[in-house]
Amino acid sequence: MSDTLEASVEAPAEPRTAPPIPGREGRPEAPSSPPARSRMESRKLNFSYGAKQALWDISLKIPEKTVTAFIGPSGCGKSTYLRCLNRMNDIIPDTRVEGEVLLDGRDIYGPGMDVVDLRRRVGMVFQKSNPFPKSIFDNVAYGLRINGLCSRAEMPERVEKALRRSALWEEAKDRLDTSAMGLSGGQQQRLCIARALAVEPEVLLMDEPCSALDPIATAKVEELIHELRVDFTIVIVTHNMQQAARVSESTAFFMLGRLVEHDRTEKIFTNPGQKITEDYITGRFG
């Protein structure tokens, strides 16, 4: 198990503009700059559903303001691990967590951690878009309202900002008062991203955000992820190897509840450290 990432990946040295997507040419590589600060980190994380252990000793560092992709066969624990990062697994009865998950050096499972505050700081976008049966405006404003993050007067501005960030503003600006259920699948997913962004999270977890979308909507969401990594630390679970290669700077490969390896995406996809990673990536199994 190599976790060489810390030493080899660095803060993105590029200017804060969205880089071109296709082929990801111009991706910053400079290994000479100082190592990236890690935003989240797990140390020997074990997790079980009842008697069934799902995660084994996972130690992983998620670098700041980059996109980290989790890949691996179905049931390998990547989604479970993702949900450990904002304690979404808490709501599943009869589960157990051991080890530490650090957010800015503080254990999120430690005493005194406010789960509500944690989830505001570590946002999540789900596999299946889940807009609330409310208006588009109310969906985006929801997080701001329940957390009391801004005044009523600021609300329209914050909602617009979030919708612009998720590239939905142009399509939605004339119908903010209509139900979010009337949006298309891809728009709904971008609305969910806008909703998550509105509360200004530090980390954004995305659990297979494109698996229910068509290729065009997928391309839009990927483009969005690309722009967002300038401001946010993003973790994305994906079954789509090309997607991991396209959007991420670093990739972690999970297998049978263990972290097999975590490295720069380019290294994982061209010269992985483990034979099994290579087998999975080249499609020999999984």
Distance in Å, CB of 141 to another protein, minimum: 11
Distance in Å, CB of 57 to another protein, minimum: 26
Nearer to another protein, 56 or 132 (CB): 132
Q: At what angle do helices 215-228 and 185-198 cross, to 10 degrees?
A: 20
Nearer to another protein, 12 or 186 (CB): 186
Residue appearing with tokens 């049978």: 256
Distance in Å, CB of 4 to another protein, minimum: 31
Pairing of strands 67-71, 52-63: unpaired
Distance in Å, CB of 7 to another protein, minimum: 32
Tokens describing residue 211? 């698996």
3-state secondary structure at position 201: coil
Binding site for another protein (CB under 8 A): 86, 88, 91, 93, 116-117, 119-120, 123-124, 126, 128, 130-134, 142-143, 146-147, 178-179, 181-182, 192, 195-196, 199
Nearer to another protein, 43 or 175 (CB): 175
Nearer to another protein, 109 or 253 (CB): 109
Whether 204 contacts 123, CB under 8 Å = yes
